[in-house]
Amino acid sequence: MNGSVKYFLVAIAVLFLFIGCQSQQVVEKSSTEKHVCSACEKGKSGEAVWCDSCGAGFVKGEKVKCKHCFEGMSGEKGVWCESCNTGYLKGERVDCKKCCTTGVVCETCQAEKSITEEHVCSACEKGKSGEAVWCDSCGAGYVKGEKVKCKHCFEGMSGEKGVWCESCNTGYLKGEKVDCKKCCTTGVICETCQNKN
């Protein structure tokens, strides 16, 4: 065999060994290094970023897992998020569903922003302070300062009427919780319940 052919074969063998060694180092390096998402890195540094591959977003460095809330927090649009029961208008958190969906502060809520500049619903503020109030805009009510999300239960808890709520499986008579459906629907305590007392 010719000397130059031998050198050529040796050179090829050395080249294959070198390439194999390098590829193994690259695989080992990538498996030991932690994968970093550049979009999320931007978000952590303060940008408003949503990353579809990570299923998360960042607003002012705060991680947000709900895309709908992210859209509201980043100020892209007025948003009411049913799943999180939270709203945002111009990037600010808002308690009023109507304001979020219309994109403007409604009449009920025009009763000012609080000292902290957070937008609040005046009807709900009255409820939080102890009044029995139902706010259609926010889809919630308050009885003795307690928040109630079911309008039917609110009517019973506030003592407006005897109520049996099928969806909540709860009853109220004269503002008091009652286990008997018959008492709630008739508005009087039935014989069976009178005998229990």
pLDDT in tens, 143-168: 988 888 888 888 888 886 788 888 88
Say how far apart CA 124 and CA 144 lie, in whole Å. 12
Q: Please say if the pLDDT value at position 128 is more than 70.
A: yes
- Does any domain span residue 23? no
Say how far apart CA 13 and CA 21 lie, in whole Å. 12
- Does any domain span residue 26? no
Q: Please say if the pLDDT value at position 9 is more than 80.
A: no
Q: Please say if the pLDDT value at position 6 is more than 80.
A: no
Residue whose pair of structure tokens reads 């890195």 in the numeric block: 41
- Per-residue confidence (pLDDT) for residue 114, from 0 to 100: 41
- Does any domain span residue 105? no
Which range marks the domain in which residue 197 is found? 160-197
- Does any domain span residue 115? no
Query: Which pair of tokens denotes residue 99?
Result: 């304001």
- Does any domain span residue 187? yes
- What average pLDDT score do residues 41-69 get? 87
Element (H, E) at 147: strand 146-148
| Contact present, 141 and 156 (Cβ < 8 Å) | no
User: Tens digit of pLDDT for each residue in 61-103?
Assistant: 888 888 888 888 888 678 888 878 888 888 888 888 888 878 7
When divided into structural domains, the chain yields a total of 1
User: Tens digit of pLDDT for each residue in 166-193?
Assistant: 888 888 888 888 888 888 888 888 888 8
Backbone angles phi, psi at 189, to 5 degrees: -75, 125
- Does any domain span residue 50? no
Backbone angles phi, psi at 12, to 5 degrees: -65, -45
pTM over 0.75: no
- Does any domain span residue 135? no
Query: Which pair of tokens denotes residue 111?
Result: 């009763």
- Does any domain span residue 188? yes
- What letter represents residue 129's amino acid? S
CB atoms within 10 A of CB 178: 19
User: By C-alpha distance, which of 125, 124, 141, 113 is closest to 105?
Assistant: 113
